[in-house]
Amino acid sequence: MSAIAPGHHVAQPSREPPPSLIAGPLAWMRTNLFNSWLSTAVTLALGYLVLRMGTSFIQWAFIHAVWTVPMGANGTLDPAACRAAQGVGACWAVIWDKYRFILFGRYPYDQQWRAAIVVVLFIGLFVVSGMRRFWRKELVLIWIGTLTVIGVLMWGGVLGLTYVGQDIWGGLPITLILSTFGLAVAFPLAVLVALGRRSTTMPAVRMLCVLYIELIRGVPLISLLFMASVMFPLFMPEGLNPDKLLRAQVAIILFAGAYLAEVVRAGLQGLPKGQYEAADAIGLGYWRKMGLVILPQALRLVIPPLVNTFIGFFKDTSLVLIIGIFDLLTSGKVAVAEPIWQAYSTEVYIVLALIYFAFCFSMSRYSRGLEREFGKSVRR
Amino acid sequence: MSQSVTGEAPAILLDKVNKWFGVLHVLRDVSMTVAQKEKVVVCGPSGSGKSTLIRCINRLETHQEGRIVVDGTELTDDTRSLDTIRREVGMVFQSFNLFPHLTILENCTLAPIWVRKIPKAEAEELAMSFLTRVKIPEQAKKYPGQLSGGQQQRVAIARALCMRPKIMLFDEPTSALDPEMIKEVLDTMIGLAEDGMTMVCVTHEMGFARQVADRVVFMDRGEIVESGTPAEMFENPQTDRLQLFLSQILRGH
Ligand SMILES: Nc1ncnc2c1ncn2[C@@H]1O[C@H](COP(=O)(O)OP(=O)(O)O)[C@@H](O)[C@H]1O
Ligand SMILES: [Mg+2]
């Protein structure tokens, strides 16, 4: 580039910077939103729509909203104010009245503090597990300890806590239990299955893994849940009938395992063959090679699709609704089944969506951070 | 011939080794002995089976016919013999193959800690001594991606040495390097040769072969066509194939 023969005409560098380099929101808008009459028209039309919808949502959700309703003569809340505002303003009073049912389902009202602590413990567990300085062997102990405490709190029956059967657990704890145990068990399962599927020395294991993945991926989660709740008990011997929650949990684990296995496999295939050979050549055996050299790299490669699958499964746990397990979505649905609140399901679903969003968005932000951090140390 | 260099059992013995990739016959009746402390340079045109040959020696590839005995252990499907071989034989690849997620020091201590079961502190001390020997102790805390090609290849040599192998295999260790980095790697290898390491090295660096090799082996189409001292081979090639190859190499340089 720099070696231009003398006598050649060399264009004088222009004094003005190129247009895209002029900073500022106005310049950005000119290049991105108003660069031709067509894009100007589209921008204006969309802008008008967004503005209209935005303002009417704000009016509905905040300005004309009814936040509380007074107690009626018969000791229940009187939703007359909400009825008056119907169609114009939201009725957040339903949330105020029902939030504990939405969060904890039919868990005994006076014991719901236990379920609340469980939710806090789960969130704490996620936060601690997310911090790299806790990525040591002790983390396993932290998990075991926390999950034990969670079990004690939910079931009770010891330490003076009254016993609460898991058939009346509900709400957010159920969603967190299903997704946490689901992914915590499905992930190691997925790694093993992915390794099995790539095994060259054990064709039987490879076949089994392929069979598992293809069978599970071939059916929708809903039908797997139905099978777990309806068909499975038919084949079990009398008296040995695992609980419905456990069966749903197993179905979710098997389902998530198959999907995650394919994600992990993609990571394994993404590594150059030289990495496997170098690990072989320095004498690492199969498990050390995988655990110390291959998996750490392969999993980093697939953080985005892995987290994508995690997020998908967090939301998919809501499908247990159809077999009558009282997760967050179910308890929201049941809350608005009550006659006085029947007209205000929108408000409840918005709140449910916000809760799901909070968890999923945190996962997504966290994975972005991880990618950045790993990107720093592993520059090829 | 090679046994006469010392009186001991050979470090490596290949006896009528044959190997196929599917229908492709890549090694044809290859027989060769490498004595203890002998340095053998393998050369030949691309695709002639040089890599396959030395990869069979540490069983990254399996041969189908014939016998390979390394340091008294015959290579079979038995996993115990495999473990022994992998400890005794170090390998350096054309593309370095360092582990990018580990630091230079961790690259070097991984196998000593997990395979040889050496305590971590001792393994680190050992690794630092070899990193000093390849002249990059100051890079120990960096990641492979932060090093130049020549530095990475020297780390790869140090990583292999940390397992205290008796035999070192090199598969075109300088072919992926920019010209200005070739010398630093070759110097490291020359130092290793002077310390008496048994070496089998696939390379087209004729200067290195002249300086270091006890013997040069010329391969073509899966066969060993000719072998002899560097002087014999380069000044007085017996076969047309070697003559042709040498003229191509010289033209290329
Ligand atoms: N894994 C493999 N599968 C199939 N063919 C291979 C494989 N590895 C090498 N070959 C073939 O074997 C022949 C010898 O290869 P190689 O030993 O790499 O030659 P060289 O190192 O002398 O260039 C080549 O024709 C190559 O295409
Ligand atoms: Mg080669």
Give the model confidence (pLDDT) of B83-103 as tens digits. 888 889 999 999 999 999 999
Residue A181 falls inside a structural domain = yes
Q: Which amino acid is at B13?
A: L
State the first-to-last Cα distance of chain A, in angstroms, to the nearest integer. Answer: 27
Tokens read off for B112? 């000593």
Q: Is the CB of B59 under 6 A from ligand 1?
A: no
- Domain range spanning residue A334? 80-107+164-379
Q: Using CA positions, which residue lies closest to atom 27 of ligand 1?
A: B47
Taking the centre of ligand 2 as the mean of its atom positions, its distance from the CA of residue B43, in whole angstroms, is 10
Specify whether the CB–CB gap between A104 and A112 falls below 8 A: yes
Q: How confident is the model at residue B9, as a pLDDT? A: 84
Ligand 2 mean position to B68 CA, how many Å? 20
Contacts of A281 in chain B (CB under 8 A): 58, 60, 86, 89-91, 93, 160
For all residues of chain A together, what is the average pLDDT? Answer: 84
Tell me what pLDDT residue B26 has. Answer: 94
Please name the helix (run of DSSP H) or strand (run of DSSP E) that holds residue A47, with its range, or none.
Answer: helix A37-58
Residue A284 lies in a domain: yes
Residues of B in contact with A288 (CB under 8 A): 114-115
> Phi and psi dihedrals of B167, rounded to 5?
-130, 140
Length of chain A: 380
Question: Is A106 or B118 the better-scoring residue by pLDDT?
Answer: B118
3-state class of B5 per DSSP? helix
A320 part of a folded domain: yes
User: Residue A184 falls within a domain, yes or no?
Assistant: yes
Is A330 part of any domain? yes
Q: Please write the tens of the pLDDT for every residue from B29-38.
A: 999 999 999 9
pLDDT of residue A27: 83
pLDDT at position A107, please? 85
Q: Mind listing the pLDDT tens digit for each residue in A162-205?
A: 888 888 888 899 899 989 988 889 999 999 999 999 888 888 99
- Cβ atoms of A94 and A341 closer than 8 Å: yes
Is A277 in the B-facing interface, judged by CB distances under 8 Å? yes
CATH number at residue A242: 1.10.3720.10
Give the whole-angstrom CA distance, residue A341 versus residue A93.
9
3-state DSSP assignment of residue A182: helix
Residue identified by tokens 């010329």 is B218
Give the CA count within 13 Å in the CB-facing half-sphere of A274.
13
| pLDDT tens column, B39-72 | 999 999 999 999 999 999 999 999 999 999 998 8
The alpha helices in A302-344, defined as continuous H runs, are 303-316, 328-335
pLDDT at A22: 61
Residues B174 and B186: beta-carbon distance below 8 Å: yes
Distance, in Å, from the CA atom of A115 to the CA atom of A126, rounded to the nearest integer, reads: 17
- Cα separation values, B12 from A319, B34, B79, B144, B231, Å: 63, 5, 19, 32, 23
pLDDT digits (tens, 9 = 90+) for A224-250: 888 888 877 777 766 666 678 888 888
List the beta strands (DSSP E) in chain A. Answer: none
* Residue of B203, B19, B119, B145 whose CA lies nearest to A374: B145
Which helix or strand (DSSP H or E) is residue A83 part of?
Answer: helix A80-85
Nearest residue on chain B to A299, judged by CA atoms?
A: B101
Task: Give the closest residue (by CA) to ligand 1 atom 26.
Answer: B47
Its ipTM equals 0.92
> Taking 80 as the threshold, does the pLDDT of residue A329 lie above it?
yes
Percent of chain B with pLDDT over 90: 77
Which of A101-115, A240-254, B42-56, B193-207 has the lowest average pLDDT? A240-254
The mean pLDDT value of chain B amounts to 90
Neighbouring CB atoms inside 10 A of A303's CB total: 17
pLDDT of residue A372: 85
- What integer is the mean pLDDT of A22-45? 83
What residue's CA is closest to ligand 1, atom 16? B49
Is the dihedral angle over the CA atoms A240, A246, A250, A255 positive or is it negative? positive
Decide if A329 is inside a domain. yes
- The number of domains in chain A is 1
Whether pLDDT at A123 is above 80: yes
- Phi first, then psi, for residue A358 (nearest 5°) are -55, -45
Residue B209: what pLDDT?
92
CA-based nearest residue to A325, from A232, A247, A219, A236: A247
Q: What is the DSSP string of A165-176?
A: -GGG--BHHHHH
Is A257 within a domain? yes
Q: Please say if the pLDDT value at position B16 is more than 80.
A: yes
The H or E element that residue A226 is part of is helix A221-226
pLDDT for A274 beyond 90? yes
Region A42-51 average pLDDT: 91
Region of poorest pLDDT, from A65-69, B24-28, B178-182, B184-188: A65-69
pTM, full prediction: 0.83
Cα angle A54, A56, A57; round to 5: 65
Q: What is the nearest CA distance from B103 to chain A, expressed in angstroms?
A: 9
Paired with B68 in beta bridges are: B14
Chain B residues with CB inside 8 Å of A285's CB? 83, 115
d(CA B134, CA B156): 10
pLDDT of residue A51: 93
User: Helix (H, G, I), strand (E, B), or coil: what is residue B171?
Assistant: strand
The string of pLDDT tens digits covering residues B101-129 is 999 999 999 999 999 999 999 999 999 99
Greatest C-alpha distance within chain A:
99
Place of tokens 């039987």: A204
Least confident stretch, A287-301, B5-19, B114-128 = B5-19
Is A361 part of any domain? yes
